[in-house]
Structure 1
Amino acid sequence: MKKTLHSSNLIIRNAVFDDIGLLRDVYRRASLTVEEDRDLFAAHPEWLVWDDKMLPFTRVAVVNGRIAGFASACPVNGCLELEDLFTDPEWMRQGVAMALIKDIARRGARIEVTASPRAVRLYEAAGFIANGFANTEGGPAPRMYLDVTRAGLDRN
């Protein structure tokens, strides 16, 4: 059952050690929502394990005391590399991912991401621009960037 998000009950905070189990769960369940990727994950179950080394770089979206999604962005070569952007399936298409992108935009002038092909529309809606492809273990994936100073995202 889909939930309804109201910005008044959304809090974005730093991830903490006690969140790791829930982050792993959201990562796994969100990844498995893409039916076309299930065979790939069955062949590579290690891809369904969230890397908790990302914890210091992770922001968590919490709604009514429950984790609704998270994003991890690391500083790399003067920009932020968005490594993770996952929403609990119950909260998908409710604005959680966009709220996390806006939160990360407050930290840098440029954000880069190797996007899942199914996430390109979300990134485009947030103002990201495609600029090539990266070779990943799962095949070629779009590289995109967001120039926060030009994107017009509400940074407040």
Structure 2
Amino acid sequence: MSGGREPARCYGLALLARRDYSRQELVERLCRRGYSAAEAADAAAELAAERALSDERYAAERVRGRAAQGVGPVRILVELRAKGVPAEIIAAALAPEEGAWGERAAAARVKRFGAPIPEDRRERARQARFLQGRGFRHEDIMFAVHAPQD
């Protein structure tokens, strides 16, 4: 192993064998490990060229996983931005789930509070705050806390 770049690449590949990382996240991990910023960036570029590192794959997997945990699109978007994922990749990752957020909000509400739709305004507001904290949008929250229109 000559030079600093090859060990950084190998360590990066070992990290990616365990789970996906965003490019920014991987560079940060490599820098914390003691590699220079240039070495880390070069290793990330090589791994991306080899398709071992992909912000698209990372974002899509993160959206699926967090949505399954009952987290809404606003919170997922903020989390992905914090990991350095570009806005267009985030939008593409969130797009397949677009029609399902209201149902996901309703499922999160039912899991936390039970099936009956709250009649009391204060209870509806409490449940709406819970969903807002989970990262659901206003329209999804309204769908979840109001009785379905027939």
In the superposition, the TM-score normalised over structure 2's length comes to 0.28
Larger gyration radius, structure 1 or structure 2: 2
Task: Name the TM-score, length of structure 1 as normaliser.
Answer: 0.28
Which structure shows the higher helix fraction? 2
Q: Which has the higher strand share?
A: 1
